[in-house]
């Protein structure tokens, strides 16, 4: 295990560092982050969330549009934080786009093809204020379906969603869809929307989702079968993200989500995932998604035009082109994961683990950058540009923001933080 202390954190905003050095509690930190615009959650007319803090009119990156997974993750984090107004809108927005996908689901259930083509997949990305589905996207993303189901089940338990018979039928058809594609052995594009392979993180996300909606159903026998198949598959795969084949991957930061916030993996396997991430992926400014990740490889902006940088890389030819620009060890360092690592450690409760939790929380706070306007933002990732680590195009990532809120809530008893 790495032995850094909070004093080794790379602070990108002197204002944030001064805030932590002042010795305030978590409420004071949250208040300051809100005051500097760091934790704003703009919302589309559909109720879904854009990926970053921007408007459709101003955006050139594509991140003003909505992803099913991101919107569900943001809404779940806001619910955990006690926020109800925006999260309720998001719940109904997710439910609405899933109802809109019902014809696609029915078409998929009639398809004899296996694996199921992308054209017959539940949409994962949506464009515009009304969130129209992007049918040409890398829509084979079973993890997104899992998060969406988890959101619906959580909202129902919280009293934020009163399901109708039409809603229950929709959930039944989604479960039939997951059974039809045999999600436990299906190859999908996963969290990172890349070449399709069998991903433990996707299987675990679906497990969390189907368990959450089981109480909403009159007959839970299909959920029980899906749970058994997924649990067996997850045991076979972990601690790998992908076993066997040309795309085998031993360590992937997406697996952290199975520990927190999903809680699908616990105990010794959770410890192993955390140790793997610390040994292989933790870097100076953030955490790499996986080794060999060429998204935002060095000098990425000079190799890919604005409209292509965050494009569809789910086919091998495009991935091969992108991979040519990667220097091993110079993978982009992401901001999504340090907050989750802090939560993982604070749950373990030993004194050494609490120190680690403080360390990762400080790292997450250190990733906040200061704009020329004086506002604070969390970039999606830091990447190498002309030899310096700088924020990528996607500044104000809502998914990272809500993870930080989760971490501040979970670690509030650890304040003041050492700097």
Q: How much helix, strand and coil, in percent to the nearest 5, is found in the chain?
A: 50, 10, 40
Say yes or no: 79 and 120 in one domain: yes
Binning pLDDT at 50, 70 and 90, where does residue 242 land? very high
Domain termination site, one of 225, 250, 275: 250
User: Domain for residue 261, yes or no?
Assistant: no
Say yes or no: 221 and 356 in one domain: no
Average pLDDT over residues 227-239: 98
Write down the pTM of the prediction. Answer: 0.96
- pLDDT, one tens digit per residue, over 357-384 is 999 999 999 999 999 999 999 999 999 9
User: Domain for residue 274, yes or no?
Assistant: no
Please tell me the number of Cα atoms within 13 Å of 204 on its side-chain side.
Answer: 27
Say yes or no: 31 and 55 in one domain: no
What pLDDT is attached to residue 284?
A: 97
Binning pLDDT at 50, 70 and 90, where does residue 419 land? confident
- In this predicted structure, the answer to whether residue 62 has a pLDDT above a threshold of 80 is yes
Say yes or no: 94 and 238 in one domain: yes
Q: Which residue has the tokens 């992007």?
A: 134
How many domains are there within the chain?
A: 2
Instruction: Tell which wins on pLDDT, 6 or 85.
Output: 85
Give the domain range for residue 71: 46-250
- pLDDT, one tens digit per residue, over 379-400 is 999 999 999 999 999 999 999 9
Q: Lowest mean pLDDT of 30-39, 58-67, 272-281, name the range.
A: 58-67
What pLDDT is attached to residue 136?
A: 83
Say yes or no: 68 and 143 in one domain: yes
What pLDDT is attached to residue 2?
A: 42
- Token pair of 353 as six digits: 């683990």
Q: Among candidates 27, 14, 35, 19, which has minimal Cα distance to 375? A: 35
Report the percent of the chain where pLDDT is more than 70.
Answer: 98
- In this predicted structure, the answer to whether residue 3 has a pLDDT above a threshold of 70 is no
User: Domain for residue 259, yes or no?
Assistant: no
Domain termination site, one of 250, 271, 296: 250
What pLDDT is attached to residue 328?
A: 92
What pLDDT is attached to residue 244?
A: 94
What pLDDT is attached to residue 119?
A: 87
Say yes or no: 321 and 236 in one domain: no
What pLDDT is attached to residue 312?
A: 87
Own/partner pairs, 271-276, CB within 8 angstroms, 24+ separation: 272/239, 273/238, 273/239, 274/341, 274/344, 274/345, 275/1, 276/239, 276/250, 276/251
User: Domain for residue 363, yes or no?
Assistant: yes
Domain termination site, one of 234, 250, 266: 250
Say yes or no: 112 and 193 in one domain: yes
């Amino acid at each position: 295990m790495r032995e850094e202390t909070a004093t080794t954190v790379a602070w990108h905003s002197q204002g944030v560092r001064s805030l932590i050095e002042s010795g305030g509690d978590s409420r004071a930190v949250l208040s300051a982050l809100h005051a500097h615009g760091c934790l704003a959650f703009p919302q589309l007319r559909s109720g879904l969330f854009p990926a970053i803090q921007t408007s459709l009119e101003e955006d050139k990156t594509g991140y003003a549009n909505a992803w099913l997974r991101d919107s569900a993750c943001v809404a779940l984090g806001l619910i955990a934080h006690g926020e109800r107004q925006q999260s309720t809108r998001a719940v109904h927005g997710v439910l609405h786009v899933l109802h809109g996908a019902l014809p696609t689901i029915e078409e998929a259930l009639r398809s004899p093809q296996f694996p199921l083509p992308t054209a017959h997949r539940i949409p994962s990305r949506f464009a515009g204020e009304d969130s129209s589905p992007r049918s040409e996207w890398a829509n084979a993303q079973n993890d997104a379906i899992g998060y969406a189901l988890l959101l619906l089940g959580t909202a129902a338990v919280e009293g934020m969603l009163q399901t109708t018979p039409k809603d229950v039928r929709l959930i039944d058809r989604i479960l039939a869809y997951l059974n039809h594609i045999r999600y436990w052995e299906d190859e999908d594009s996963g969290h990172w929307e890349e070449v399709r392979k069998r991903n433990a993180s996707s299987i675990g996300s679906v497990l969390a989702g189907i368990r959450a909606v089981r109480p909403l159903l009159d007959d839970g026998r299909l959920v029980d079968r899906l749970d058994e198949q997924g649990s067996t598959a997850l045991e076979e795969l972990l601690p790998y993200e992908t076993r066997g084949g040309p795309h085998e991957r031993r360590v992937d930061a997406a697996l952290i989500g199975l520990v927190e916030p999903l809680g699908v993996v616990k105990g010794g396997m959770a410890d192993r995932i955390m140790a793997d991430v610390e040994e292989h992926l933790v870097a100076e400014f953030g955490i790499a998604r996986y080794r060999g990740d060429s998204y935002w490889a060095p000098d990425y902006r000079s190799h890919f035009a604005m409209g292509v940088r965050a494009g569809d890389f789910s086919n091998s030819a495009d991935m091969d082109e992108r991979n040519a620009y990667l220097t091993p060890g110079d993978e982009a360092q992401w901001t999504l994961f340090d907050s989750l690592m802090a939560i993982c450690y604070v749950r373990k409760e030993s004194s050494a683990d609490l120190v680690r939790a403080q360390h990762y929380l400080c790292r997450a706070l250190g990733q906040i950058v200061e704009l020329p306007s004086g506002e604070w933002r969390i970039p999606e990732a830091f990447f190498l540009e002309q030899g310096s680590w700088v924020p990528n195009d996607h500044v104000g990532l809502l998914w990272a923001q809500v993870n930080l809120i989760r971490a501040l809530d979970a670690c509030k008893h650890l304040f003041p933080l050492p700097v």
